[in-house]
Structure 1
């Protein structure tokens, strides 16, 4: 398991500097994106430890059961199996998690409903889409396939970090949360500042700036503060 201090530092770096999902994915070597998620409401930037929840077989019984125990400040990742295009939850669950359980956001591997209310309250939710048809709340029969999938997902999401913004959702798996990641996050953020300086102030082309990285061979073209930061956060391997 990762050192909890490193996990908190990574979360703080991303949150404090509002590092985007695009930059986080760059720091992960263009990996980590969870496909097909779209924000219900635009303008949010959320980062936190994952609390994994699942449900299956056209029922959200297990979802209701598990969300009683989600920790405050987490990002709830809800995964649905065999729910046949039905919404996993709506307004009540969203309000319970975000208002009363004080979770940061909800990432839904499925559909949601009661969208008029979710939009009105501007709840930070990312999902695959919407529908008016919801799951039942009856206890489904045990399913060996689902149990196997849940075990795989829980191993992947437990102790991981999620970052979500207008571009989508990125997962930082626990094996990648380390000192090297902290350095790369700081580097990609600084690199973007340098790129904008080269293009906006020096009037370089994007080819000269991004592909050739001419500032690396001639760092004196950069202001002193950017030169200093570049030396401080330069990764062991070039980008």
Structure 2
């Protein structure tokens, strides 16, 4: 089984949210400080990472021009020492239209916010700014060990992006156990809302005490699987 494809099929078919993915990962995985630029979007995909460094976007341009494998990937721009907007409308259009990426995630700032919003690009970022990076080399090259660390951590991981932010599933967790948890996270949510809305149980009894695991509320096979998921 290709666990990457299977996981993405489950996430996309069921629109499993970043919140639910965070639960699957034990309340971990958030890309800190990153939020959606445009509301109401949902993207999930394999990650391809490039970096920006020293308040310059020169390296971003170069990596996009010389690299491949961006199609249908979530492009993560990893920020190294950039407090200005890394790029804006032109590069975003190039990434989405010509490199055919699925979405853009950047742990930094972008510019041309009015156009990025108007075009409804699927972008998640820390902030916007009118002041952009320069387009030439602006300092020392990235340390080779840091670059290797960035690529090892982010390339071929999965990111799930929505209005709550971005959560990353590390590639070492893309396995059979993940598939099992994804298959039941939606069912657990359905059970919780059923308990509160229909059975009028308190959230304390439902979420904390999990009283729905007692008695004959659910089929025993489903109870056993839920208990396994929650263990």
Q: What range describes the TM-score normalised by the shorter chain of this pair?
A: over 0.9
Q: Determine the C-alpha separation between the residues in 2 that align with 1:78 and 1:70.
A: 15
1:221 Cα offset (Å): 2.5
Contact 2:213/2:227, CA 8 A, preserved across alignment: no
Contact 1:187 1:230 in 2 (8 A): no
TM-score by length of 2: 0.93
Deviation at 1:140, TM superposition (A): 3.8
Query: Deviations along 1:13-61, whole A, 9 cap, x unmatched?
Result: 0111000011001111111111100110010111000010102112111
- Determine if the alignment matches structure 1 residue 132 to structure 2 residue 124: no
**Contact 1:40 / 1:125 at 8 angstroms: preserved in 2?**
yes
Q: What TM-score, normalized to structure 1?
A: 0.90
How far does the alpha carbon of each residue in 1:161-200 deviate from its partner, in whole angstroms, 9 at most, with x for none?
1111100110101110001011111222110000001111
> Is 1:54 the equivalent of 2:51?
yes
Task: Give the Å deviation of 1:147.
Answer: 3.5
1:29 aligned counterpart, secondary structure: coil
How many pairs were matched up?
A: 229
Specify whether residues 77 and 110 from structure 1 end up closer, same or farther in structure 2 by C-alpha distance, changes over 3 A only.
same
CA RMSD of aligned residues (A): 1.8
Q: Identify the residue that residue 32 of structure 1 maps to in structure 2.
A: 29
Runs of at least 5 residues in structure 1 that lack an aligned partner in the other structure: none
| Structure 2 residue 95 is matched with structure 1 residue 97 | yes
Cα distance change on mapping 1:117 and 1:229 into 2, 3 Å: farther
Q: Are the aligned partners of 1:48 and 1:162 in contact in 2 as well (CA < 8 Å)?
A: yes
Distance 1:38 1:102 in 2: 21
User: What are the superposed Cα offsets for residues 133-175 of structure 1, whole Å, 9 maximum, x if unpaired?
Assistant: 111111344335x433222111100210111110011010111
| Dislocated runs of 4+, deviation >6 Å | none
In structure 2, the gaps of 5 or more residues are none
In structure 2, do the counterparts of structure 1 residues 162 and 47 end up closer, same or farther at CA, with 3 Å as the change threshold?
A: same
